[in-house]
Amino acid sequence: MTSTLDGAPPAVQFVDRAQALGAFKVSDATFYWLTRASAMLVLLILGGIIVTLAVGAWPAIQEFGPQFLWTQRWAPQLEPQPILGALGPIYGTLVTSAIAMAIAVPIGLGVAIFLTELCPPSLRQTFGGAIELLAGVPSIIYGMWGFFVLAPFLADTVQPALIRTFEGVPVLGDVFAGPPSYLSLFNASVVLAIMILPFITAISRDVFQTVPPMLKESAYGLGCTTWEVVRNVVIPYTRAGVLGGVMLALGRALGETMAVTFIIGNSFRITGSMFSPGTTISAAIASEFAEAGGVHQSALILLGLLLFFITFIVLACARLMLARLERNAGA
């Protein structure tokens, strides 16, 4: 009888191999169904959230109809029938997020470029850790700091300087019109920018580090400056990842609640000045939901549904942009 190196007969070895293959099939099938069930669970949770919001918002949809979207007045205690409109919160959400992104994106990318290209290796870990530490600060701490420290500084120093600078300038004069205020859209935007800065910086730094050193060394060998290497090599190679980080930060800005509630003023009135009080969808829900009832509560739930769709549209557009960038890069 022939035998294998370990002394076992071929038949026994064949049986053991068959049992092992069967065990592998069982474990692989278990892994497949567990991961598939996890993915389906996420979809079920998402669908449940949408259904719950839609059911809660239905009385307000029936009561106010499409005009809820472009009505500015918010008077839940008005008799005999309240007047509620989402235009003010929608405006505040979009404006504060846009200003925050305009401030945070250039600074975040600049910090990420400094950490990966210019920062001395001995200080790289220290600066990187400090940036990541900002991401772990609770939002309510940002709100308290913004209310007690940042808002007085902006109202006493920054806002008067901007008012004087743009006074009499068409359009910009109205956008930066006074008087200065401790509670304003501008102050909320600055706090939002500080909150989303770590996300942009951390993700951009990580994707910048994936650039093959050979590409950068080749560019330097051709005589390129650091700015030319960043502009022509690093940014094009990592633009999909950078855009993903920017969109993640935008999603955070759109849904931020407590920090914004502290310093935005919670006013549903729309004015052209960035230094006037305002509100966002999340701030309006947080400040009024506890004491709301009936159609007022339903209107707040409808605001939450609108925020969900706004965020979904923004992220969907981001995915389309990423897909287009990847397709162009492949071409």
pLDDT score at 94: 92
Residue 118, class by beta-carbon neighbours within 10 Å (0-12 exposed, 13-18 middle, 19+ buried)?
exposed
pLDDT, tens only, 84-122: 889 999 999 999 999 999 999 999 999 999 999 888 888
Section 294-316 average pLDDT? 90
3 is a domain residue: no
Query: Is the confidence at residue 268, as pLDDT, over 80?
Result: yes
309 is a domain residue: yes
Q: Which of 64, 86, 104 is the last residue of a domain?
A: 64
Average per-residue pLDDT for the chain: 86
2 is a domain residue: no
Does 101 share its domain with 216? yes
Does 130 share its domain with 210? yes
Cβ within 8 Å of residue 95, ≥6 positions away: 185, 189, 274, 278
Does 16 share its domain with 129? no
pLDDT score at 57: 92
3-class secondary structure, 263 = helix
pLDDT score at 3: 47
List the Cα angle 254/257/259 in 5-degree steps.
Answer: 110
pLDDT score at 1: 46
3-class secondary structure, 311 = helix
Give pTM, 2 decimals: 0.84
Does 163 share its domain with 35? no
Does 98 share its domain with 29? no
Does 213 share its domain with 262? yes
For residue 104, what are its two tokens? 């945070």
Does 97 share its domain with 195? yes
pLDDT score at 2: 46
223 is a domain residue: yes
Query: Is the confidence at residue 18, as pLDDT, over 80?
Result: no
Show contacts of 157-161: CB within 8 Å, 24+ apart.
Answer: 159/184, 159/186, 159/275
238 is a domain residue: yes
Task: Name the pLDDT band for 40 (thresholds 50, 70, 90).
Answer: very high
CA distance 248 to 318: 9
- Assign residue 211 the CATH number of its domain: 1.10.3720.10
Of residues 17 and 140, the one with the higher pLDDT is 140
Percent of the chain scored above 90 by pLDDT? 42
Does 60 share its domain with 80? no
CA distance 46 to 3: 59
CA distance 326 to 135: 29
pLDDT score at 330: 58
Section 29-45 average pLDDT? 91
Question: Which H or E element spans position 83?
Answer: strand 83-84
What total of structural domains would you count in the chain? 2
Does 54 share its domain with 151? no
203 is a domain residue: yes
Task: Name the pLDDT band for 331 (thresholds 50, 70, 90).
Answer: low
pLDDT score at 7: 53
User: Which of 12-26, 151-165, 223-237 comes out lowest in average pLDDT?
Assistant: 12-26
Does 48 share its domain with 161? no
Task: Name the pLDDT band for 196 (thresholds 50, 70, 90).
Answer: very high
Does 221 share its domain with 148? yes
Section 139-160 average pLDDT? 92
pLDDT score at 6: 52
Per the structure, the complete domain to which residue 41 belongs is given by: 10-64
Query: Is the confidence at residue 9, as pLDDT, over 80?
Result: no
pLDDT score at 15: 52
Does 110 share its domain with 136? yes
Of residues 129 and 162, the one with the higher pLDDT is 162
pLDDT, tens only, 57-74: 999 999 888 899 988 888
Query: Is the confidence at residue 19, as pLDDT, over 80?
Result: no
144 is a domain residue: yes
